[in-house]
């Protein structure tokens, strides 16, 4: 027997070993990767793996489908027969055991065993050979013969024969479709069974949902509750057909609704009332609802089976039905039903406008636009704000009727709040909903702030910005001094470029700060225009000198071919940088003095406020003496607190300023001794003590004494500050006055020379005119007759063109297009600003339709006109004839006034239009003749009249040119020797004045570099005056008296402008001294650059030139014509004519 056991164990071990070997081979087969090798062994292995995967997928999918089908079948049978099973002893146990057996059988037979068979390569090979008998056992033989090489050696297999067998098998496998080895029949069968089971279960659930909802949990609950307990708990009646009627809270205004045959789940708004009715499958005596396992609500039983009750919903939870049968047994329904309360959402509110923190004045009104919404209704909207740590509110709107959404506006008048500069008001809009169950829910918008504008704060910020500018200029000066261009390292172009790019970036930052300060000063009511002008000049000078240096350096870098910069070139560039250093140093010194001066002004201004507050206290105390008033007491205390704060501010400002340089003289003034000795604070405390004790007379006396001390201190401080400020401005004022006086002297000399030259010119003209008196009348009369013929030809041309219906229709459509376009644009502007009324929108649409129609008609007419080039030329002529008529009218006036030169200018202007029309017309006519086209008689007539007018006008031009040349020759020939000597003498005098003007220009240039109150206008005007003097000298040397007078008058004008600039500079320096100052003019256009400022925005005012920008204005020309008609005083005739000639030449 022992030998049999040993054999059995040995056999079992071998079987286990074989199984383990097959499993390892199976794992290796599945986990092996595909290789690109196409040898025979690899082909067999890939074939086996493909079949194995297909078989596994088929078996796992099919087995799972059968297993799921069995589960659905068991659940269906159990749910249907649960009550029958419960009445039989061990019925439910037998059902569970049977179900377990069925599921185990299906799992083993359909899933596990087929998968185990796939562990062996031989069995996979048999599957392949079973599908393809043509292999004739070659595949399984190849697998068995190649498995164990040791056996091959023992049996003495021929290796070559095995290789041939494997190769032959592999070749056969390559020609076969391995994917067809595993049949899909089993998988289709399993899926069909699953689909049938799912359809059967779904159909039963649809028709008996409540039944299955109860019985399926009952079926599974037996496993957890035990047999005996389960029989007692679930032998009660089955409750179904649950109907729920919802009645919602009144504030929600939701309609009642009824849901039939529900699962019993309740979902409603808090405070709702639900009426529940249900039906039992057997008679009951009484019933109830147990809510959250605590509260029992009785149900009314009707007809033994129908139950009803009402439930108010105030909390979420669950409920179950509880019934009592005729024997007194109490049954709890196994199905628990949920109660879910929908929450009333919080309302929402937002502020649409302003929708951000803004700065306002204390008397402004703020337009607040807001939007509020709630899911069931808004009850009230209020504006809530905080002032002086006190929360206040204003009701904006309240609603009696349901209002789910509301958009409103409120104009908030700040004047009633008694605000002061620097106050800050936090505000938001608050909304309450109409929830009467849980109480109103409150939501707030985002909190925004109103900051009351403070001119002092704005001014302080500007001073701080100027201090930042001063600091940046100091940094740049340090860079310029330490990073010299003539340093040896800068011989490298790359190093030089790197250093200068850093300095250039610093310069751009400084210019940006300059621009930001200047832009901000335009909104600063406390800004001094002298400071503004000085900063603007400092900026321009700084920009010019830095641009000059950077241009020179980078241009030199580009021009030098090699990487090494020549030493001589570096030395020249260092000179340019030295100019920048000098300019930056001067700017720093002046800017520092200007900042200190503004700080002094700020201290003085604070003192003025202190005096004002003290005056207010005096008035309040005097009023209090006449009668008690609690409100006045509060005002006095408030003013006292303000005075203390103001004194503290003054002390802080003075202490900060004491740390600066060059302030010793000011801070040694007697004005500060009272502050240092705390005299003011002692007097302040005495006044407070008397007031608190109720001794108003003593308080008033102390207030008067305090006021006197403050006034004395401020007078001394103002005087010291005046002396401090004036000391740095006196030299500037003195130099500017001296230069202005010298310009006045030069102006007087130039005026005397101009008058002498003008007298000589008139004498020469008089002699020349006397010789031409007989010729002038006949000459100009002849030209007037020619002009009359031209007018007649053009008038007849206009009449002919007026009869051309196509042209006139085209012109009319163009006029209508322009008119309607302008009206529509104006209306669009109104719509965009005011959103427009319905009438505006309808009118806008109507105008747009008309415009569209006119565009179409205009395009059609345009195509017709373009077909004939001659007609297109006539269209141009029709448009330009009105302007031509005006030119003819002016020419006629000039001919009557015997003004040869102006007549020539107008005749040339007329000739330009006439020749243009005539040339186009003649070219078109030649083309038509060449192409043998018919030309209408009217077209030929128009072309001929234009041609005649052009020829006549050309004759006028030729005659006028000859006349002017003759006049000039006669004037020159009529000069006596004395006249020539006088003109040469005037030329020498003019040269001396020119040299003097050049010297003054150099002084003005130097002074403008040192004096920021003075711009570059004066030296520019002096430069232009010097050039005009030079031109006058040249014309005097050529004996051209008339031309020299024009240039001399030009130089007089430039000298007057230069003097005006100097006077303005003097005024700025005077007003820039300590005192009232010169306020900023509002508005003042700012002259900036496109790339300047921190935001890169241009602040320069740009004026777009019109078509007439390069022509003499018609209005001006008409004014001169009217003056010529009416006559002018003899003194101004030549001046007027010369000025006009300068304009039009």
pLDDT tens per residue across span 762-772: 777 677 666 55
pLDDT at position 233 over 50: no
Q: Which of 172-181, 185-194, 839-848, 1043-1052 has the lowest mean pLDDT?
A: 839-848
Element (H, E) at 431: strand 424-433
Fold agreement between 236-342 and 348-452: yes
pLDDT at position 288 over 60: yes
Using alpha carbons only, give the angle 925, 929, 930 rounded to the nearest 5 degrees: 115
pLDDT tens per residue across span 1083-1139: 443 333 333 333 333 333 333 333 333 333 344 344 434 443 344 344 333 433 343
Range among 148-162, 656-670, 942-956 rated most confident: 942-956
- Give the per-residue pLDDT at 430: 92
- Give the per-residue pLDDT at 957: 85
pLDDT at position 99 over 60: yes
pLDDT at position 1042 over 80: no
Per-domain residue ranges for the chain? 17-203, 236-342, 348-452, 458-553+562-594, 630-728, 751-767+976-1070, 782-973, 1103-1145
Question: What does DSSP assign to residue 485?
Answer: T
- Give the per-residue pLDDT at 887: 82
Q: Which two tokens stand for residue 714?
A: 């401020």
pLDDT tens per residue across span 118-168: 667 777 777 777 777 777 777 777 777 776 544 545 445 567 777 777 777
Q: Where are the alpha helices (DSSP H) in 522-663?
A: 529-559, 567-626, 630-658
- Give the per-residue pLDDT at 1082: 41
For residues 826-841, average pLDDT: 48
Q: Which of 788-802, 836-850, 879-893 has the lowest mean pLDDT?
A: 836-850
Structural fold of domain 348-452:
Immunoglobulin-like (2.60.40)
- Give the per-residue pLDDT at 245: 92
Rg of the chain over Cα atoms, rounded to whole angstroms, equals 55
Share of the chain above pLDDT 90, in %: 4
Q: Which of 26-35, 824-833, 952-961, 1020-1029 has the lowest mean pLDDT?
A: 824-833
Between 640 and 497, the higher pLDDT residue:
497
Q: Which two tokens stand for residue 628?
A: 């008690």
Strand partners, 143: none
pLDDT at position 429 over 90: yes
Between 618 and 92, the higher pLDDT residue:
92
Q: Which two tokens stand for residue 1069?
A: 């320096």
**Half-sphere exposure (CA, 13 Å, Cβ side) for 72?**
19
- Give the per-residue pLDDT at 727: 53
Element (H, E) at 506: helix 493-521
- Give the per-residue pLDDT at 507: 92
For residues 861-869, average pLDDT: 67
pLDDT at position 666 over 60: no
For residues 209-226, average pLDDT: 68
First to last CA, the chain: 144
Between 595 and 1090, the higher pLDDT residue:
595
Q: Which of 154-163, 350-359, 988-997, 1051-1060 has the lowest mean pLDDT?
A: 154-163
Q: Is the pTM of this model over 0.75?
A: no
For residues 261-279, average pLDDT: 89
With a CB cutoff of 8 Å and minimum separation 6, the contacts of 146 are 41, 162, 166
pLDDT at position 577 over 80: yes
E-strand stretches of 37-142:
none
Computed over every residue of the chain, the mean pLDDT equals: 74
pLDDT tens per residue across span 899-941: 777 788 888 888 887 787 777 777 777 776 677 777 777 777 7
- Taking CB atoms within 8 Å and a gap of at least 24, the contacts of 680-685 are 680/647, 680/706, 680/709, 680/710, 680/713, 681/647, 683/709, 684/640, 684/643, 684/644, 684/647
Based on the number of CB atoms within 10 Å of its own CB, is 881 exposed (0-12), middle (13-18) or buried (19 or more)?
A: middle
Q: Are 653 and 602 in contact (CB under 8 A)?
A: yes
Q: Which two tokens stand for residue 821?
A: 């376009």
Between 630 and 981, the higher pLDDT residue:
981
For residues 284-302, average pLDDT: 87
pLDDT tens per residue across span 697-743: 776 677 667 666 666 666 666 665 555 555 556 667 777 788 888 88
pLDDT at position 460 over 50: yes
Secondary structure (DSSP) of 1094-1105: TT----------
pLDDT at position 352 over 60: yes
Q: Which two tokens stand for residue 1056?
A: 């007057």
pLDDT tens per residue across span 783-802: 888 888 888 877 877 777 67
Distance CA 985, CA 907 (A): 38
Question: What does DSSP assign to residue 193?
Answer: H
For residues 564-593, average pLDDT: 87
Q: Residues, the chain, total? A: 1145
Distance CA 763, CA 308 (A): 130
Based on the number of CB atoms within 10 Å of its own CB, is 1075 exposed (0-12), middle (13-18) or buried (19 or more)?
A: middle
- Give the per-residue pLDDT at 370: 92
Q: How confident is the model at residue 848 (pLDDT cuts 50, 70, 90)?
A: low
Q: Are 456 and 488 in contact (CB under 8 A)?
A: no
Distance CA 72, CA 67 (A): 9
Distance CA 752, CA 1055 (A): 14
pLDDT tens per residue across span 478-522: 888 888 888 888 888 888 889 889 999 999 999 999 898 888 887
Q: Which of 39-53, 158-172, 668-682 has the lowest mean pLDDT?
A: 668-682
Q: Which of 229-243, 714-728, 1054-1068, 1105-1119 has the lowest mean pLDDT?
A: 1105-1119
- Give the per-residue pLDDT at 1115: 41
- Give the per-residue pLDDT at 512: 92
- Give the per-residue pLDDT at 1089: 34
- Give the per-residue pLDDT at 60: 83
For residues 302-317, average pLDDT: 87
Which residue in 502, 495, 513, 378 sits closest to 432, CA to CA?
378
**CATH top class, domain 236-342:** mainly beta
Which residue in 190, 144, 197 sits closest to 169, CA to CA?
144
Q: Is 1122 helix (H, G, I), strand (E, B) or coil?
A: helix
Distance CA 312, CA 308 (A): 14
Q: Are 651 and 603 in contact (CB under 8 A)?
A: no
pLDDT tens per residue across span 200-216: 888 888 877 766 776 77
Instruction: Determine how β-strand 424-433 pairs with β-strand 337-342.
Output: unpaired
Q: What backbone phi and psi angles, to 5 degrees, belong to 308?
A: -140, 150
Distance CA 498, CA 878 (A): 65
Q: How confident is the model at residue 961 (pLDDT cuts 50, 70, 90)?
A: confident
């Amino acid at each position: 027997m022992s030998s049999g056991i040993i054999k059995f164990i040995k056999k079992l071990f071998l079987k286990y070993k074989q199984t383990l070997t097959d499993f390892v081979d199976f794992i290796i087969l599945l986990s092996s990767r595909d290789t690109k090798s196409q040898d025979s062994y690899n082909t067999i292995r890939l074939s086996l793996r493909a079949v194995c995967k297909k078989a596994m997928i088929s078996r796992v999918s099919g087995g799972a489908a059968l297993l799921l089908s069995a589960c659905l079948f068991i659940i269906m049978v159990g749910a249907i027969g649960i009550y029958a099973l419960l009445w039989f002893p061990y019925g439910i146990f037998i059902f569970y055991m049977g179900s377990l057996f069925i599921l185990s059988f299906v799992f083993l037979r359909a899933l596990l065993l087929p998968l185990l068979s796939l562990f062996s390569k031989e069995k996979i090979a048999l599957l392949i050979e079973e599908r393809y008998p043509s292999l004739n056992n070659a595949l399984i033989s190849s697998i068995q013969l190649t498995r164990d090489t040791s056996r091959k050696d023992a049996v003495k297999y021929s290796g070559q024969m095995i290789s041939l067998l494997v190769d032959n098998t592999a070749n056969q496998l390559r020609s076969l479709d391995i994917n067809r080895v595993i049949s899909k029949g089993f998988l289709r069968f399993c899926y069909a069974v699953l689909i049938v089971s799912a359809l059967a279960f779904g159909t039963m659930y649809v028709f008996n949902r409540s039944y299955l909802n109860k019985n399926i949990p009952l079926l599974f609950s037996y496993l957890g509750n035990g047999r005996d307990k389960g029989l007692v708990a679930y032998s009660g009646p089955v409750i179904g057909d649950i109907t729920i009627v919802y009645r919602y809270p009144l504030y929600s205004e939701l309609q009642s609704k009824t849901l039939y045959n529900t699962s019993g789940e309740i979902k409603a708004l808090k405070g709702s009332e639900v009426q529940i009715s249900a039906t039992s499958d057997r008679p009951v005596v009484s019933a109830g609802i147990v809510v959250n396992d605590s509260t029992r609500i009785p149900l009314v039983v009707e007809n033994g089976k129908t139950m009803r009750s009402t439930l108010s919903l105030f909390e979420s939870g669950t409920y179950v039905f509880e019934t009592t049968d005729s024997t007194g047994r109490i049954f709890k329904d196994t199905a628990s039903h949920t109660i879910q309360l929908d929450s009333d959402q919080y309302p929402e509110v937002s502020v649409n406008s302003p929708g951000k923190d803004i700065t306002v004045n204390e008397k402004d009104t703020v337009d607040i636009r807001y939007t509020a919404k709630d899911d069931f209704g808004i009850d009230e909207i209020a504006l809530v704000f905080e002032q002086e740590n006190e929360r206040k509110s204003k009701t904006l709107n309240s609603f009696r009727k349901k209002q789910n959404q509301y958009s409103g506006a409120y104009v908030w008048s700040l004047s009633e709040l008694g605000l002061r500069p620097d106050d800050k008001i936090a505000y938001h809009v608050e909304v309450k909903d109409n929830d009467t169950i849980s109480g109103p829910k409150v939501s707030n918008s985002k909190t925004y702030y109103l900051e009351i504008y403070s001119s002092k704060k704005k001014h302080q910020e500007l001073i701080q910005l100027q201090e930042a500018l001063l600091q940046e200029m100091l940094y740049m000066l340090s860079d310029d001094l330490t990073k010299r261009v003539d340093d040896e390292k800068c011989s490298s172009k790359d190093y030089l470029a790197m250093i200068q790019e850093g300095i250039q970036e610093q310069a751009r930052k400084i210019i940006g700060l300059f621009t930001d300060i200047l832009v901000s000063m335009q909104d600063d009511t406390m800004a001094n225009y002298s400071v503004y002008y000085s900063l603007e000049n400092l900026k321009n000078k700084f920009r010019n000198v830095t641009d000059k240096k950077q241009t020179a350096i980078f241009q030199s870098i580009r021009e030098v071919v090699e990487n090494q910069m020549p030493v001589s070139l570096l030395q020249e560039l260092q000179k340019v940088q030295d100019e920048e250093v000098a300019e930056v140093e001067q700017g720093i010194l002046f800017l520092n003095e200007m900042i200190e001066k503004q700080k002094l002004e700020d201290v003085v201004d604070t003192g003025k406020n202190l005096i004002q507050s003290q005056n207010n206290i005096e008035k309040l105390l005097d009023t209090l003496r006449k009668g008690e008033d609690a409100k006045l007491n509060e005002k006095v205390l408030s003013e006292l607190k303000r005075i203390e704060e103001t004194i503290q501010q003054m002390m802080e400002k003075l202490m900060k300023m004491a740390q600066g340089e060059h302030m010793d003289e000011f801070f040694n003034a007697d004005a500060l001794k009272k502050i240092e000795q705390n005299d003011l604070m002692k007097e302040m405390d005495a006044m407070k003590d008397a007031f608190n004790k109720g001794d108003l007379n003593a308080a008033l006396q102390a207030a008067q004494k305090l006021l006197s001390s403050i006034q004395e201190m401020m007078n001394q401080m103002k005087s010291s500050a005046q002396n401090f400020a004036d000391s740095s401005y006196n030299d500037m004022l003195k130099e500017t006055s001296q230069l202005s006086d010298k310009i006045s002297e030069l102006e007087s000399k130039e005026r005397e020379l101009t008058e002498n030259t003008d007298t000589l010119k008139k004498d020469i003209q008089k002699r020349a005119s006397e010789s031409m008196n007989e010729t002038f009348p006949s000459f100009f009369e002849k030209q007037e007759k020619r002009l009359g013929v031209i007018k007649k030809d053009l008038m007849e041309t206009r009449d002919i063109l007026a009869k051309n219906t196509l042209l006139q229709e085209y012109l009319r459509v163009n006029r209508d297009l322009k008119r309607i376009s302008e009206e529509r644009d104006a209306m669009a502007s109104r719509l965009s600003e005011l959103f427009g009324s319905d009438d505006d929108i309808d009118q806008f649409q109507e105008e747009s339709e008309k415009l569209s129609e006119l565009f179409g008609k205009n395009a059609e007419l345009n195509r017709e006109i373009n077909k004939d080039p001659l007609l297109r030329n006539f269209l141009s002529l029709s448009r330009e004839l009105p302007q031509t008529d005006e030119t003819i009218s002016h020419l006629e006036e000039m001919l009557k006034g015997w003004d040869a030169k102006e007549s020539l200018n107008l005749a040339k202007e007329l000739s330009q239009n006439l020749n243009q029309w005539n040339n186009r017309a003649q070219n078109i006519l030649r083309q038509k003749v060449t192409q043998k086209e018919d030309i209408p008689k009217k077209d030929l007539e128009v072309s001929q009249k234009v041609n005649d007018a052009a020829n006549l006008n050309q004759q006028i031009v030729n005659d006028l040119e000859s006349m002017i040349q003759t006049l000039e020759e006669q004037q020159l020939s009529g000069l006596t020797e004395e006249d020539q000597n006088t003109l040469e003498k005037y030329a020498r005098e003019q040269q001396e004045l020119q040299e003097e003007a050049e010297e003054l220009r150099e002084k003005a240039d130097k002074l403008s570099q040192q004096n920021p109150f003075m711009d570059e206008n004066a030296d520019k005007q002096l430069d232009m005056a010097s050039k005009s003097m030079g031109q006058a000298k040249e014309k005097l040397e050529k004996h051209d008296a008339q031309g020299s007078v024009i240039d001399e008058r030009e130089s007089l004008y430039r000298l007057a402008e230069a003097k005006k600039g100097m006077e303005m500079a003097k005024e700025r320096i005077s007003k820039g001294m300590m005192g009232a100052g010169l306020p900023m003019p509002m508005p003042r256009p700012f002259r900036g650059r496109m790339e300047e400022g921190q935001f890169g925005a241009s602040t320069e005012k740009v004026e777009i030139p019109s078509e007439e920008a390069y022509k003499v204005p018609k209005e001006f020309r008409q004014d001169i014509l009217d003056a010529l008609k009416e006559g002018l005083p003899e003194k101004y005739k030549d001046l007027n004519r010369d000025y006009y000639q300068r304009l039009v030449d």
